[in-house]
Structure 1
Amino acid sequence: MGIGRQRGAATIVLGILELFLFRLATSQSFIGVNYGTIADNLPPPASTASLLMSTSIGKLRLYEPQPDLVAALAGSNISILLGIPNGAVPNLASSPAAAASWAATNIPTTVSVSAISVGNELLNSGDPTLAPQLLPAMQNLLAALPAGSTTKAYAWLAGRFLSKPSWRLLYVQISTVHSMAVLSASDPPSSGAFHPDLAGSLDPVLDFLHQNGAPFMINPYPYFAYASDTRPETLAFCLFQPNAGRVDAESGLTYTNMFDAQLDAIRAALDAKGYSDVDIVIAETGWPYKGDADEAGATVDNAKAYNTNLVAHLKSQVGTPRTPGKSVDTYIFALYDEDLKGGPESERSFGCTRQT
């Protein structure tokens, strides 16, 4: 896992991409991968597009517009979750014209765009000036979408009967991505509740999602749960490996992995607010293959176990204890390492491919 510094070299796929390349025969439309760009060693866009199209990955999350990569993906069956950086949110919130200009410039028509994420973990970004601008930016962007682009039936008919690539951009959802820090409680999962200090900003966003049929997007990382509790049984619980399970005394449900527990904590928080109809999308989740000396569990074996077991869990469509039989769109972090990120070594070590 990890990506080296030589551009244009052969790509070795490990973990999640190995699974998609060699074990899954059909496209997994509910499983995607994140493409981050805080790096100086990324392969050319055409090489990345070729790699993605050689797998059964059905979704790609971009944190900002990537015209060259999108152009290289033209005609593929890969849909895009298109991100808007936090720094661009004030401009979109400033006027409908600014949002219309962004949409006209950055929303591609040669690939399918399933959703647009206005910001990433913005409510917990540490910049309090951004929170009040989130909803206006989402509203302005929604109004700037092409006519008919938010109609599910129209999108299905176009995708079924029309051949022009430009018709593939139709049903576009507008949302934003949150960190698990939006929760004030998550253990046990039935106690899941949003942080009351965020209510002024988060509640209107939840209503926007409800009114427009858009999903709540979240970034859960069982790795960080393990980092704060490094018992062997916790590692097994986080890696989807055999364990005794954990009983939620309030609901009576038994959990056998942390991913389901985190997902159901979000579900409980949404239900408590009256938004049981709002779906959840996992915009990021992953496990680092390398870390500093004090970062327990950041190993190649654990990263591979988490990624492959997560995919097997999602592919089974067993769902979670609170929502059995319901699959959830999930984006795995990340396609490549991002060697320019600061912080601990683990921050630069989530990549699923390695250049040689």
Structure 2
Amino acid sequence: MATFFYFILLPFFLSADTGILVASFGINYGQVANNLPPPTKVLELLSTLKITKTRIYDTNPEILKAFADSNVEIIVTVENQILNLLNDPQQAVQWVNTNIKPYVPETKITGIQVGNEVFTEIDSSLIQYLVPAMINIHNGLVQLGLDTNIHVSTPSSLEVLEESYPPSAGSFRSEISGVMYQLLNFLSKTKSPFWINAYPYFAYKNNPNQISLDYVLFNPNQGMVDPNTNLHYDNMLYAMVDAVTFAIGKLGFNGIEVRVSETGWPSKGDSDEIGASLKNAEIYNKNLLTRQMANEGTPLRPRMRLESYLFALFNEDLKNGPTSERNYGLFEPDESMTYNVGLSSFAKSSNPSTSISLTSSATRTKAAQKENQSMVNWMFVYLLISSLCAFV
């Protein structure tokens, strides 16, 4: 009798959204700096923070070797400047032979990003090489028996969209629609995700008088309702993701998952970089991680957890551009925290009094409330099973 009740309730027990286990999220490990700790120390930091996913912008052998036999999954990148070479299938196989094969399975390489924001590169000639390079890289993985656990994709900026507001109006720029169709066809056939670099910070900086700061920071706000779908959005990141999902659907591909390859907020900026501040960076990233812990999906796909990679692990002192470009890191190169979003009580903090809680100083979100309710449900089921077993 006890066994009967156990198996009746076990599926519910296992499928309950408990809110107890923190879902893994990713963080970008950029290296445009001359003062970063060695990869072995970076791995120690990620392990201390219990971060199990990272992305690098090359195939640095020192990093790939250092991450061997760890539990950290890593996505590597093919640099834009060699995309034309990979139009040759043999060159692509050689690239896989040199940059991937020697490190797996000891190093958990789970993805290859072919290029970075190629559709909006200054050198527009790169677009013609993108999809052929992706196909050749994938075929190289197949040829070497490495394709099972490694997806091939490419990250795009939101500038690939012609329209993004409201989200249901999302559509790709007409001049890239042909190549975009080829890309989506490849992703659909290989069951790979569409990655976007999405920064609500830039939207706010460019139009602070029209865009609510609370809306872009995930703070409580009235949000907006898409008039075509009646879906309610309480933050801009989810609206951006759904705009891309709608754009993908309009080209005939409805099953492709959209993931966020980069998002973040600068802790410092120039005088004309409105919104770039330590306070806003802490709020944005803390609220983002709270949503990640709650396994949230977007309004369009509420049951599919949105996978996001935060930018970035370190401040990078050699990056070009305005001050903000060098100040996206959660950590300084000496591994002290730029600010504390609550990742670990064991990591070195530049401000020991900073709260470890992932809950923002603002009112708790509905997602956090649902997380608490899920925990209550989980405990109820556990106690019910225990009682039934004891009774029988």
Q: Who is 1:149 aligned against?
A: 146
Asked if 1:293 is matched to 2:287, the reply is: no
Q: Who is 2:379 aligned against?
A: none
> What is the count of residue pairs matched by the alignment?
312
Q: How does 1:27-38 map to 2 (within 5 A)?
A: 28-29=23-24, 31-38=25-32
Asked if 1:320 is matched to 2:308, the reply is: no
- SS in structure 2 opposite 1:28? coil
**1:276–1:106: structure 2 CA closer, same or farther, 3 Å change rule?**
same
Equivalent residue letter for 1:137: A
Asked if 1:348 is matched to 2:334, the reply is: no
Q: Who is 2:47 aligned against?
A: 53
- SS in structure 2 opposite 1:54? helix
The alpha carbon displacement at 1:148 in A equals: 4.3
1:180 corresponds to which of 139, 142, 158: 158
Asked if 1:112 is matched to 2:105, the reply is: no
- SS in structure 1 opposite 2:301? coil
User: 1:25 touches 1:56 (CA, 8 Å); kept in 2?
Assistant: no
TM-score (norm 2): 0.77
Q: Who is 2:85 aligned against?
A: 91
Q: Who is 2:93 aligned against?
A: 100
User: 1:48 touches 1:69 (CA, 8 Å); kept in 2?
Assistant: no
Asked if 1:128 is matched to 2:124, the reply is: yes
The alpha carbon displacement at 1:318 in A equals: 2.9
Asked if 1:41 is matched to 2:35, the reply is: yes
The alpha carbon displacement at 1:25 in A equals: 8.2
The percentage of aligned residue pairs carrying the same residue is: 40
- SS in structure 1 opposite 2:31? coil
Q: How does 1:180-219 map to 2 (within 5 A)?
A: 180-219=158-197
Cα distance in 1, alignment partners of residues 91 and 296 from structure 2: 43
Q: Who is 1:160 aligned against?
A: none
The alpha carbon displacement at 1:233 in A equals: 6.3
User: 1:236 touches 1:243 (CA, 8 Å); kept in 2?
Assistant: yes
- Structure with the greater alpha carbon radius of gyration: 2
User: 2:155 touches 2:195 (CA, 8 Å); kept in 1?
Assistant: yes
Q: Who is 2:231 aligned against?
A: 253
User: 1:28 touches 1:57 (CA, 8 Å); kept in 2?
Assistant: no
- SS in structure 2 opposite 1:218? strand
TM-score (norm 1): 0.84
The alpha carbon displacement at 1:226 in A equals: 0.8
User: 1:213 touches 1:278 (CA, 8 Å); kept in 2?
Assistant: yes
**1:243–1:251: structure 2 CA closer, same or farther, 3 Å change rule?**
same
Q: Who is 1:166 aligned against?
A: none
Equivalent residue letter for 2:129: Q
Equivalent residue letter for 1:150: D
Cα distance in 2, alignment partners of residues 256 and 265 from structure 1: 14
Q: Who is 1:16 aligned against?
A: none
* RCO comparison, higher one (Cα < 8 Å, 6+): 1
Q: Deviation above 6 Å: which 4+ runs of structure 1?
A: none
**1:257–1:59: structure 2 CA closer, same or farther, 3 Å change rule?**
same
Which deviates the most, 249-258 or 229-238?
A: 229-238
The alpha carbon displacement at 1:250 in A equals: 1.4
- Which residues of structure 1 form unaligned runs of 5+? 1-23, 152-170
Equivalent residue letter for 2:121: S
Q: Who is 2:348 aligned against?
A: none
The alpha carbon displacement at 1:149 in A equals: 3.1
Cα distance in 2, alignment partners of residues 247 and 139 from structure 1: 39
Equivalent residue letter for 1:287: W
Cα distance in 2, alignment partners of residues 190 and 232 from structure 1: 20
